[in-house]
C-alpha cells in the first residue's frame, strides 16, 4: 500500500481505507495503483470473507479524481494512465470474490461515487452528499458512473445526478437507491463492520457464489463468470478424473457421463 491507501486484515474482515483526508481523499494514480494491489492481495487471502471500503476524515469519503493530477496530462496519458487504468481498477474491486461494504464517512462525488458503486452494499452517514458533477467542468463520468452505477441504482437516479449536476443528501440517495442505509454521522464504519461481520458468519462459498451470480444478473463479468463456473463444475466430475488418468497413462479414457 501507500501512505494514502491502507489495507488491514483482522480475522475474516479486510478493511481498505483511503487516507488522504486533507485532500478530501481525492484519488491519484498512485492511489489507483494501491487499490489494485489491495484487490490482488485480498484475492490471495482465503480467510477473508468480506471487505469494508472506507476513508479517513469526517468531510469526504472521496471527491473523485485529483484534478491537479490529471489536468496537465497529454490526451494519450489521460486515457492510458487515468481513465482506462482507473476503470480497470474499479472493475477489479467490483469483481472481488467476496462482498464489499462501503462506509461513506462523508461526501462521495464524481469518481468517489463511482468508487462507492464498486461495493455490494453502501452505508452512508447522514451528513454525506453524493453527486456526479462532471458535466459542470466539461468532462463526463469516466470510471463507470454511467454504466455500473446505472446497474446498481437505475438509470433515472443517474440521469438526475449526471445531467443536472446537483449534489443530493443521504436521505435522497437512500430513496433513489444509491445507498442502502443512512446512519448517524460518525457511526458509518462501525455499522459497515457489523454488516461485514454478519456476512462473514454466512457460509462463505455460498456467499461468494451468490455475489457472482448477482453480478452476472447485472451484466458484470458475465462471460468470465460463466466460464469459471463451468470449469469448476466439470473439473470435479468422475469423467474429469478418468480423463486425467487416461492422459497420464496415455490410453483413451472411458467417459460415463458422471
Q: Concatenated DSSP letters for 162-182? A: HHH---EEHHHHHHTTS-SEE
Phi and psi for 114 in degrees, rounded to 5? -65, -35
* 40 assigned to active site: no
Sheet strand arrangement including 100-104: 5-10, 13-18, 50-55, 100-104, 121-125, 181-183
* 197 assigned to active site: no
Phi and psi for 120 in degrees, rounded to 5? -80, -35
pLDDT category at 83 given cuts 50, 70, 90 is confident
- Record: fold of 5-200: 2-enoyl-CoA Hydratase; Chain A, domain 1 (3.90.226)
Domain ranges of the chain: 5-200, 204-249
Separation CA 126–CA 1 (nearest Å): 30
Pairing of strands 168-169, 121-125: unpaired
Separation CA 142–CA 113 (nearest Å): 11
In the chain, the percentage of residues whose pLDDT exceeds 90 is 68
Note the pTM of the prediction, 2 decimals.
0.90
pLDDT in tens, 146-176: 999 999 999 999 999 999 999 999 999 999 9
Q: Hey, how many other C-beta atoms are within 10 angstroms of the C-beta on 132?
A: 30
Separation CA 97–CA 101 (nearest Å): 13
Phi and psi for 181 in degrees, rounded to 5? -145, 150
Residue 251: its pLDDT value, please?
Answer: 83
Separation CA 18–CA 201 (nearest Å): 26
pLDDT category at 85 given cuts 50, 70, 90 is confident
Q: What is the DSSP letter of 147?
A: T
95's grid cell: 469483481
111's grid cell: 469518481
Q: What is the DSSP letter of 186?
A: T
100's grid cell: 464489499
Separation CA 196–CA 188 (nearest Å): 12
Catalytic hit among 40, 47, 114, 254: 114
225's grid cell: 463468470
The chain-wide mean pLDDT, for the chain, equals: 90
Residue 222: its pLDDT value, please?
Answer: 67
pLDDT in tens, 1-12: 678 999 999 999
Residue 190: its pLDDT value, please?
Answer: 98
Catalytic hit among 134, 184, 220, 242: 134
Separation CA 104–CA 55 (nearest Å): 8
Separation CA 191–CA 60 (nearest Å): 17
Beta partners for residue 142, in sequence order: none
Residue given cell 482465503 in the structure block: 46
Exposure class string for 26-51: b at 16+ Cβ within 10 A, else e:
bbbbebbbbbbebbeebeeeeebbbb
Amino acid at each position: 500500500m501507500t501512505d494514502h491507501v491502507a489495507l488491514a486484515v483482522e480475522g475474516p474482515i479486510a478493511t481498505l481505507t483511503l487516507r488522504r483526508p486533507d485532500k478530501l481523499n481525492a484519488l491519484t494514480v498512485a492511489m489507483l495503483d494501491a487499490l489494485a494491489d489491495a484487490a490482488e492481495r485480498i484475492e490471495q487471502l482465503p480467510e477473508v470473507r468480506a471487505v469494508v471500503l472506507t476513508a479517513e476524515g469526517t468531510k469526504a469519503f472521496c471527491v473523485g479524481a485529483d484534478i491537479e493530477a490529471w489536468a496537465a496530462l497529454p490526451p494519450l496519458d489521460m486515457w492510458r494512465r487515468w481513465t482506462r487504468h482507473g476503470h480497470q481498477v474499479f472493475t477489479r474491486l467490483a469483481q472481488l470474490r467476496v462482498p464489499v461494504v462501503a462506509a461513506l464517512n462523508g461526501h462521495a462525488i464524481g469518481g468517489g461515487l463511482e468508487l462507492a458503486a464498486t461495493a455490494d452494499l453502501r452505508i452512508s452517514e447522514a451528513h454525506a452528499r453524493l453527486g456526479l458533477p462532471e458535466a459542470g467542468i466539461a468532462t463526463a463520468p469516466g470510471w463507470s458512473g454511467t454504466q455500473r452505477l446505472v446497474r446498481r441504482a437505475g438509470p433515472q437516479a443517474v440521469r438526475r445526478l449526471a445531467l443536472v449536476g446537483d449534489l443530493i443528501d443521504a436521505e435522497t440517495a437512500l430513496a433513489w437507491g444509491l445507498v442502502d442505509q443512512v446512519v448517524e454521522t460518525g457511526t458509518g464504519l462501525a455499522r459497515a463492520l457489523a454488516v461485514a461481520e454478519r456476512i462473514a458468519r454466512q457460509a462463505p462459498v455460498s456467499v461468494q457464489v451468490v455475489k457472482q451470480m448477482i453480478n452476472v444478473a447485472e451484466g458484470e463479468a458475465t462471460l468470465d463468470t460463466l466460464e469459471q463456473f463451468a470449469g469448476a463444475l466439470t473439473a470435479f466430475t468422475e469423467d474429469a478424473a478418468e480423463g486425467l488418468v487416461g492422459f497420464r497413462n496415455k490410453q483413451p479414457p472411458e467417459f460415463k457421463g458422471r
